[in-house]
Structure 1
Amino acid sequence: MDKKVNEKQKVEIGDVFKLLSNPIRLNILLLLEDCPQNVNEIVSKIEGVSQPQISRQLSILRNANVVNYEKQGKKSVYSLEDPDIICIIDSSIERIMKMDV
């Protein structure tokens, strides 16, 4: 694979890793890998994190075009817009598991 990356692309790669560096955002993405969910469903599955914190992180993920949402009545249901992000997470998990052996 040709790994010639220009400066703009290097910044974009760094932005992806910054996005994934927050444990709350990482948890949200892993939950959305399974199925679309609304904020309350996400809050109920991430212990010790408030609804405003979840909403803030969802906003960041939306602005980065990683998740999207659809209004269903009064609720917003979130889903992955960029499923490739899960490949990056999975690769990172595999690396960490290897290091822990």
Structure 2
Amino acid sequence: MNENKKNDDICTIQKTHPNSIQKVKKEKINEEIILELSETFKVFGDPTRVKIMNILSIEELCVCDISEILNLSQSAVSHQLRILRNKNLVRYKKVGKQAYYSLSDKHVVQILKIGVEHVTE
């Protein structure tokens, strides 16, 4: 490997840019929000939860329907839905003896769409 290309991706001198540093420090997201966002993104790290959010972006469904579509037990689906609910990514309404789930808001749909765009570019 050419030695010049080996360190191509790092600074070869120590020189900071105070104006840029000051601007970024002033405008960056605060630590509390960073931690909450990180926890939310962890929820997106599970393929089953992403599948659930994907199908709920198409239509509101009861747990039985989600279970059938994903070929999972109702218990497994309920467990994943609880995690999604805890992060306010899905909500449910009770109709008789069934619980119907939907995505909490349009932000969740947007996150999914942007994620799909990113990985399919």
Cα deviation digits, residues 48-92 of structure 1 (max 9, x gap): x22111000011111111111111111011111132012112111
2:89 is aligned to 66
TM-score (norm 2): 0.73
- Identity of counterpart residues, as a percentage? 34
Structure-1 residue corresponding to 2:48: 24
Letter in 1 for 2:46: N
Matched, 1:37 2:61: yes
Which piece of structure 1 moves more, 64-73 or 2-11?
2-11
Q: Please, which runs of 5 or more residues in structure 2 have no aligned partner?
A: 1-23
Q: Where has structure 1 moved over 3 Å in runs of 4 or more?
A: none
C-alpha RMSD of matched pairs (Å): 1.5
Tell me, which stretches of 5 or more residues in structure 1 are unaligned? none
Q: Report the alpha carbon displacement of residue 9 of structure 1 after superposing the two structures with TM.
A: 1.1
Higher relative contact order (CA 8 A, sep 6+): 1
